[in-house]
Structure 1
Amino acid sequence: MSLNCNEINLILSELNIEGSFIQEIIQPGYDTVSFKIVGKTEPVNIVICTSPQSCRINKTNSKSPKNEKPLRFNEFLKSRVQGMRINSCKQLGLDRIVKFDVSTWKDRLFIYARLWSNAANIIVTDENGKILDCLYRRPAKDEITGGVFVPQEKIPTEEEKELSLLKFPIRTFDDNDFFKGKEELSFNEKINLYYTECAGKLSRESLLAQAEKWYNVKRSKMENALQHLIEKKSEFENAGKLKHTGDLILSFASQIKGSYLDCTDYNTGEQLHIRLNEKLNPQENAASYYEQYKKAVSGIESLEHDIELEKKAIASLDEEYNRIISEKNTLKIEQILRHDTKPKQQIQKKHPGLHYEIDGWIIIVGRNSSENDELLRHTVKGHDMWLHTRDYAGGYVFIKAQKNKTIPLEILLYAGNLAVYHSKARKNKQADLYYTQVKFLRRAKNGPKGLVLPTQEKNLFIKIDDEKLKRLDEIEKASSIL
């Protein structure tokens, strides 16, 4: 249940922020804005929440968490409102619209917090009512930049005030066991506790229920993936049979009949029926089994690495969940859940391709011509380093430059390994590369998409280092977990 008009008046009377200054503004979520007010007394954090059924304004003792990437409205408030003096803060009549009159020596603005459950909004206007920006932009209601918002204030009579108190009484929370022994708390403190612990989708109880559901679903998927890897490893552990089958084919080549070989295993005495490709000779059929054996042996090492990564991922998920359930700040819990439950298709990547951060350096990989072209056009700059395999088709690898720093050899080797791995030279496990700065690349005239011709390039021979690739794999896996 949202605050009613009389509760809003009581909240504002307790705040007493006229003459104070807005020191900091944080928007921890899409429906919440926090103001740090200083001036009259000790700093006060005020939260304005527009979530349905939880619309409110109140003082809070919790510090609001910042988003990794500041939200649009937050950036506007920081640039236009932060630092202003609060001349007045009042509710317009009994309409549940709180009006902040704020100013500097050269500018004056109005901030309206409309606390209606199904139409809440925070709107900033100039002195003439022209909208500068809104928390929610609603073109159908003209609540957009450039629109006009001048709510009329109807001053209630004493009789109307008395009737409103009967119709919309101020909550006492006497019937809530959670508040027993907390009678000395101010109304602001009770409201803050009520909405963070007991009520609405942003209450701690509700958020922890969401967290448990998110955790169980995600852990179940991870456990299934781990089990699949373990089962696959078990299949690969029988790789020795493939090599032995190849040996048998060569040993009993004279007994081959078309597409099969019936023979006695000289190790076990068991009668075997081995299927063959009748288009291949015995040596080629044996070579096919040997090749499968090599892949299986290589696959076991890779699977062991993947299994270890998956176990680490599950451990990291457990740590994250424990951090959530021990977090007291509900705004922080909501922020963590919003980040982790956002559908992958809605998460905007900084750039196409793969992204690695290692020892403070950023390496970017374009895996095809489209990604290569997009990275060249919009992501990399002239001083960034470009690497590509000689004589083999493959992706482009870029190392982002750092001011007054030379790229260490180790980072160059990591990037070189990625260039070979994402090229046709992967099977050979080695290749010559050329590398140069992006500013020394020029597009091939009438050439295919993404094709460039380097100048002032240097040569680098790379032999794939499995340990380096494993570390890069761990970095990529870790960045996708949380």
Structure 2
Amino acid sequence: MSYNWREIDYALYSLDIRGSIIREIWQPDFKHLVMELYKPGQAINLIIRTDSTGTAIYPATKKIKKQKKPQRFVQFLRAHIRGARIKSIYQLSRERIIRIETHSSQENNILWIRLWASNPNIIVTDLEKNIKECMFRRPGREEMPGKKYSQPDNIARIYKDDTGGFHLRNPELTDNPTEWFKKIEENLSGEEEKKLEDRLREKIAANTEAELTELENRIKNLKSSIKEAENADRLKLYGDLITSEIYRINRGDRYLDTTDYHGNDIRIELDPSLNAHENAEKYYREYHKQTERKKRNLEQLESAEKKRKELAELLISLPGKELEELRKLERQQTKKEQENKKTDSKIPGLQVIINDYIVTIGRNSRESDEILRKYARGNDYWLHVRDWPGGHVFIRPAKTKDVPQHVIMKAAQLAVHFSKANREKRVDLYCTQVKYLRRAKHGTLGTVIPTREKNIVIERDEALVDRILGGREA
């Protein structure tokens, strides 16, 4: 709802603010301006509402919040009209424009308050109508500092009494102005609250659905990992069978053909570089590793499914939640987002600078996987030693430059240093860009398969690595 010209006339008559001192000015948001006015026997907070969904001017009965950082327009008003006296205030004819003239010892100004449902604005001019500042700068309407303020063409007249006569009264509005203003405030506040509730519901629902989608993917991955670990008992069986027939196995054997405890024929693959005892220990280690992983995944799955149920229930209950509940939920989601951003800002692994290029090293599978998932970009260069386990090295190219060959070769030294090949004299490495990597299906954490890769061969130089890690390699 917006004021019509009769309601503006009645509001100005009822407010009786001519002669008031403007003690303070602030904005609770981008669509409202508040002026704290005082004259003997009267102190009010005057709200000027310039929202296109409802324009109005009325005294506040509730406490009005202040923005922590004042907007440009408020800063201007505080510098130019705070402390000034309202000399005159009136409406222009039957047009929904209010003219307020302010006087102070330093300067005199006019505030033109346009309460149109479309294009509302507050414009400050000098007495010659030269625009000093606007609440909303609109170049298309020439409502900008330095321009001349012009009246709408359809205004037939203004009040003859420039001190602010009120001639257009509606008897139906004069019964109780206090109750009328209160009703206006409640109606507009109710509309604001409804709009705010709708915005909060929409925002919370979007965030919840995004979290739910992420959780669904996590649950899917956990179930897949649990299923893969179902063969853990077979690994223990292999270890037991190797131990029971340790006398038959020699180093260099590739298989053990035997029978399980039910008399079924079975072939167990062996590592020819290990003896029988070491092969058994290898299966036992893998058995314990998968068992522990399955246990952790089951616990995480239970927690994830519980959280999924809570989020689904939240989506169902959102339409019935009131404003305070919605605000609380929005604060919780915002806090969680900030915590996630704070956590994400700590890049895992090790970072060094080589000739002004940022090089990030994932020293283990967890760090490498996290860097690849959260921080690496498609054009980043990726390095890894061939045929040896080791860390992943990422080089961030400059915006307008490719990564020079000498930087890649130095980064390759780091890839060797953080790998099992760190005692070899001559080492081969993969080199490609992150966009040409793909995850190995059913592979261990951090395992990727490179494509379009180039081969790099380097001679290990520990002295160079020491200089880079010590920050002495520019």
Secondary structure, aligned partner of 2:123: strand
Q: Corresponding residue for 1:65? A: 65
Change (3 A) 1:245 1:193: same
1:99 alignment partner, SS class:
strand
1:188 equivalent to 2:181? Answer yes
Q: One-letter code of the match for 1:187?
A: W
- 2:351 maps to which residue? 393
Distance 1:79 1:261 in 2: 91
Aligned 8 A contact 2:193 2:323 in 1:
no
Q: For residues 92-145 of structure 1, what are the alpha-carbon distances to aligned partners after superposition, in whole Å with 9 as ceiling and x for unaligned?
A: 222211122223321222221111111211112233323222222111111122
Shift of 1:54: 0.9
**1:171, 1:78 → 2: CA distance?**
38
Residue aligned with 1:46, SS: strand
C-alpha distance in 2, partners of 1:187/1:35? 20
Q: What SS class does the counterpart of residue 124 from structure 1 fall into?
A: strand
Structure 2 counterpart of 1:11, which letter? A
SS state of the match for residue 10, structure 1?
helix
Contact 2:25 2:82 (C-alpha < 8 Å) held by counterparts: yes
Q: Which has the larger radius of gyration?
A: 2
The SS at the match of 2:51 is: coil
User: How far did 1:8 drift?
Assistant: 0.5
2:230 corresponds to which residue? 241
Could you tell me how far 1:61 is from its partner in structure 2?
A: 1.1
Q: Distance in 1 between matches of 2:58 and 2:44?
A: 10
Distance in structure 1 (CA, Å) of the matches to 2:6 and 2:286: 83
Partners of 2:9 and 2:178 in 1: CA distance? 17
Query: Partners in 2 of 1:341 and 1:74 — Cα distance?
Result: 31
Q: 1:9 to 1:299 in 2, by over 3 A?
A: same
Query: Structure 1 pair 249/155, CA: closer, same or farther in 2 (3 Å)?
Result: same
Alignment of 1:116-195 (within 5 A): 116-151=116-151, 155=157, 185-195=178-188
TM-score w.r.t. the length of structure 2 is: 0.53
CA distance in 2, matches of 1:68, 1:263: 78
Distance in 1 (CA, whole Å) between partners of 2:266 and 2:30 is: 66
How far residue 193 of structure 1 moved from its aligned partner, in angstroms, is 2.6
Report the counterpart of residue 398 of structure 1 in structure 2. Answer: none
Q: Secondary structure at the match of 1:43?
A: strand
Change (3 A) 1:157 1:19: closer
- Indicate conservation of the 8 Å contact 2:260/2:266, yes or no: no
Q: How does 1:266-285 map to 2 (within 5 A)?
A: none
Deviation at 1:11, TM superposition (A): 0.5
Distance in 1, matches of 2:172 and 2:225, equals: 67
Aligned residues of 1:249 and 1:285 also touching (Cα < 8 A): no
Q: Judging changes above 3 Å, is the alpha-carbon distance between structure 1 residues 55 and 273 closer, same or farther for their aligned structure 2 residues?
A: farther
1:341–1:226 Cα change, 3 Å: closer
Which of residues 317, 323, 326 is equivalent to 1:325?
323
Summarize deviations over 1:72-92 as a string: whole Å, max 9, x none. Answer: 333333443333332222212
Alpha carbons of structure 1 residues 355 and 220: separation in structure 2 relative to 1, 3 Å: closer
Pairing of 1:36-75 with structure 2 (within 5 A): 36-75=36-75
Q: Do 1:239 and 1:293's aligned partners in 2 also have CA atoms closer than 8 Å? A: no
- The 2-side partners of 1:59 and 1:214 are apart by 32
Partner-residue secondary structure (3-state), 1:47: strand
Task: Give the secondary structure class of the aligned counterpart of 1:55.
Answer: strand
**Contact 1:84–1:102 at 8 Å: present in 2 too?**
yes
Equivalent residue letter for 2:233: H
Structure 1 residue 105 and structure 2 residue 100: aligned? no
Aligned 8 A contact 2:22 2:36 in 1: yes
| Contact persistence 1:240–1:293 (CA under 8 A) | yes
Q: Distance between the aligned counterparts of 2:86 and 2:216, measured in 1?
A: 60
**3-state DSSP of counterpart to 2:186:** helix
SS of structure 2 residue aligned to 1:18: coil
Whole-angstrom distance in 1 between the partners of 2:31 and 2:107 = 27
Note closer, same or farther for the CA distance 1:15–1:247 as it changes in structure 2 (3 Å cut).
same
**CA 1:204–1:35 in 2, change beyond 3 Å: closer, same or farther?**
same
1:318–1:248: structure 2 CA closer, same or farther, 3 Å change rule?
same
Q: Percent identity?
A: 22
1:12 and 1:355 map into 2 onto residues whose CA distance is 51
CA distance in 1: counterparts of 2:352 and 2:333, whole angstroms: 35
Mapped to 2, the partners of 1:22 and 1:217 lie a distance apart of 43
**Using the alignment, how far apart are the partners of 2:265 and 2:23 within structure 1?**
82
Quick check: 1:236–1:296 contact (8 Å CA) kept in 2?
A: yes
By how many angstroms is 1:209 displaced? 4.3
**Structure 1 residues 367 and 123, CA, compared in 2 at 3 Å: closer, same or farther?**
farther
Distance 1:170 1:296 in 2: 80
Displacement of 1:291: 5.6
Instruction: Count how many residue pairs are aligned between Structure 1 and Structure 2.
Output: 339
User: Could you tell me whether the CA contact under 8 Å between 2:212 and 2:311 is conserved in 1?
Assistant: no
What's the Cα RMSD here?
5.7
CA 1:261–1:308: 2 relative to 1, 3 Å: farther
The SS at the match of 2:99 is strand
The 5 A counterparts of 1:341-380 are 354-355=341-342, 365=345, 367=347
Q: Structure 2 vs 1, CA of residues 272 and 183 (structure 1 numbering), >3 Å: closer, same or farther?
A: farther
Relative to structure 1, the CA distance from residue 277 to residue 122 in structure 2 (aligned partners, 3 Å threshold; closer, same or farther) is farther
Q: What's the CA shift for 1:394?
A: 6.2
Give, in whole Å, the separation in 2 of the partners of 1:38 and 1:143.
30
* Structure 2 alignment gaps of length 5 or more: 161-166, 243-248, 354-359, 368-395, 400-406, 408-474
Aligned residue in 1 for 2:21: 21
What displacement does 1:32 show?
Answer: 1.8
* TM-score relative to the length of structure 1: 0.52
- CA–CA distance in structure 2, aligned partners of residues 46 and 203 of structure 1: 18
Q: CA deviation at 1:36?
A: 2.2
CA contact (8 A) 2:93 2:157 kept: yes
Deviation at 1:288, TM superposition (A): 6.7
Deviation track 1:394-433 (CA, whole Å, cap 9, x = no partner) reads 69xxxxxxxxxxxxxxxxxxxxxxxxxx96346699xxxx
